[in-house]
């Protein structure tokens, strides 16, 4: 277990993503994944009000409802660290004070809980003054309905500005950044955001840690993968992508582990990262991503080399 810097949140080294619950995994399948995760020592679950509005027939909040039903049936809410988000649901857009208040109440109801451990701005909202957003979060932290706040999908400059405003006004402060970071997508995290994290002493919880499934190793040259995410990895199916997979495979064999586990271990090797976020549709997938792997400096260097973007 690790403690997220500047918090009292003690969490498992893998945060379980809830984006598949109510989308590619129904309630029974989601319950099985959640039960297995907790049985293996997991305690950190990430969701959002917008999960999974994009599925036909859904309205958003499906993932939160499933997690809420599961926590109620298992009676384990106080054993868990629950993160959710506001601002991207079509019926609750943006980070105005009124929307944060309403969105939080909706999430609390769906999750069947009285507090959110980590509540994210799901995406930056330039149309709302940061002072208004951070003041609204501060009120909810003071009320006890939120314990900590995080920023998701914020540029380095906007994150830094938000942190400065919090400091100047004694507002609640973002304690983590959640954004895309993986072996196939190393920037702008490494080139821009990481420096802000260092300066202000906060950490990252990367999403898409497995690059939409590409870094599981199931995608290979000439292999057709039947997955609802398959179209999202086309940009990785090139010489660089196959080199990364080959390198991951060699390291995975050395550790007798899955390629997924090595991909996530590479993220953890970065001191700026607290814990990566990864989702699993099935118990089998979950077991692969929960394998514990510690990479040597040489293995990290080989992955850095394989994933380096060559300049034209």
Q: What is the pLDDT of residue 228?
A: 62
Sequence-ordered list of residues with C-beta below 8 angstroms from that of 6, at least 6 positions apart, any chain = 173, 175, 201, 202
The percent of residues in the chain predicted with pLDDT above 70, rounded, is 97
| Beta carbons within 8 Å of 135's beta carbon, 6+ residues apart | 97, 169, 171
Residue 76 CA to residue 238 CA, distance in Å, equals 44
Using an 8 Å Cβ cutoff, are 43 and 89 in contact?
Answer: no
Q: What is the mean pLDDT of the chain?
A: 96
Question: Could you tell me where the beta strands, DSSP code E, fall in the chain?
Answer: 2-3, 10-11, 15-17, 44-46, 81-86, 88-89, 92-93, 116-121, 146-152, 174-178, 203-204, 277-279
Q: Is 51 a catalytic residue?
A: yes
The pLDDT tens digits for 231-251 are 678 899 999 999 999 999 999
Range 132-151 average pLDDT: 98
147 pLDDT higher than 90: yes
pLDDT at 309: 80
- Considering the candidates 51, 119, 120, 174, report the single residue annotated as catalytic: 51
For residue 312, pLDDT beyond 50: no
pLDDT value for 229: 64
pLDDT band at 230 (very low <50, low <70, confident <90, very high): low
Residue 221 — pLDDT band, cuts 50, 70, 90?
confident
pLDDT in tens, 248-261: 999 999 999 999 99
First to last CA, the chain: 42
Helix (H, G, I), strand (E, B) or coil at 118: strand
> What's the gap between Cα 197 and its chain centre?
16
Query: Two tokens at 237?
Result: 């199916």
Where do the domains of the chain lie?
A: 2-212+258-293
- The answer to whether domain 2-212+258-293 has CATH 3.20.20.100 is yes
Give me the sign of the Cα torsion angle 105, 124, 7, 269: positive
**CB-CB contact of 14 with 264 (8 Å):** yes
Query: Average pLDDT, stretch 134-142?
Result: 98
């Amino acid at each position: 277990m690790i403690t997220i810097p500047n918090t009292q949140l003690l969490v498992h080294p893998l945060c379980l993503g809830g984006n598949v619950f109510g989308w590619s995994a129904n309630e029974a399948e989601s319950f099985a994944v959640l039960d297995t995760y907790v049985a293996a020592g997991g305690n950190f679950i990430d969701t959002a009000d917008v999960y999974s509005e994009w599925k036909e027939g859904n309205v958003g909040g499906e993932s939160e409802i499933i997690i809420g039903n599961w926590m109620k049936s298992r009676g384990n809410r106080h054993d868990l660290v629950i993160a959710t988000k506001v601002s991207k649901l079509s019926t609750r857009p943006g980070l105005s004070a009124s929307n944060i208040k309403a969105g939080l109440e909706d999430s609390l109801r769906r999750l069947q809980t009285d507090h959110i451990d980590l509540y994210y701005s799901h995406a930056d909202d330039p149309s709302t003054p940061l002072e208004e957003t951070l003041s609204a979060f501060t009120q909810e932290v003071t009320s006890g309905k939120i314990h900590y706040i995080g920023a998701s999908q914020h540029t380095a400059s906007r994150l830094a500005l938000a942190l400065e405003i919090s400091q100047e006004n004694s507002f609640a402060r973002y304690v983590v950044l959640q954004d895309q970071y993986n072996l196939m997508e190393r920037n702008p995290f490494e080139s821009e955001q990481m420096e802000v994290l260092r300066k202000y002493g906060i950490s990252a919880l990367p999403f898409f840690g497995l690059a939409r499934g590409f870094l599981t190793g199931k995608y290979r040259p000439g292999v057709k993968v039947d997955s609802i995410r398959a179209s999202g990895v086309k940009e990785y199916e090139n010489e660089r992508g196959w080199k990364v997979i080959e390198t991951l495979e060699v390291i995975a064999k050395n550790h007798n582990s899955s390629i997924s586990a090595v991909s996530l271990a590479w993220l953890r090797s970065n001191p700026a990262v607290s814990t990566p976020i990864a989702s699993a549709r099935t118990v089998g997938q979950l077991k692969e991503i929960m394998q514990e792997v510690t990479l040597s400096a040489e293995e990290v260097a080989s992955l850095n080399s394989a994933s380096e973007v060559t300049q034209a």
